[in-house]
């Protein structure tokens, strides 16, 4: 869970994250029902932070937007 908090902090500081990080969070954390709900919620918080601080980046990349949705 600390990793998600670090990613959220990086987003808030406007550090550019690779699309692969977002893909990984979607695939390995949010969709993994074997993980705890608290951990999966932290993954969702990452996505909300990403979309809140980088809406233009998300809207400009179709592949990234499809993966998040």
| Per-residue exposure over 26-44, b if at least 16 CB sit within 10 Å of its own CB, e if not | beebbeeeeeeeeebebbe
At residue 20, the pLDDT reads 83
At residue 1, the pLDDT reads 65
Check pLDDT > 90 for residue 68: no
State the Cα–Cα distance between residues 52 and 40, nearest whole angstrom. Answer: 18
Who has greater pLDDT, 69 or 61?
A: 61
**Predicted confidence (pLDDT) per residue in 11-67, tens digit:** 777 677 778 888 888 888 888 999 999 889 988 988 888 888 778 777 788 877 777
State the Cα–Cα distance between residues 28 and 67, nearest whole angstrom. Answer: 12
Neighbours of 52 (CB within 10 A): 11
pTM summary value:
0.72
Are 63 and 22 a contacting pair, CB within 8 Å?
no
């Amino acid at each position: 869970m600390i990793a998600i908090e670090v990613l959220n902090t990086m987003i808030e500081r406007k550090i550019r994250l690779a699309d692969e990080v977002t893909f990984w969070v979607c695939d390995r954390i949010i969709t993994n029902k074997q993980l705890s709900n608290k951990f999966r919620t932290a993954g969702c918080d990452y996505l909300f932070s990403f979309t809140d601080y980088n809406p233009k980046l998300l809207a400009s990349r179709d592949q990234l937007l499809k993966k998040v949705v």
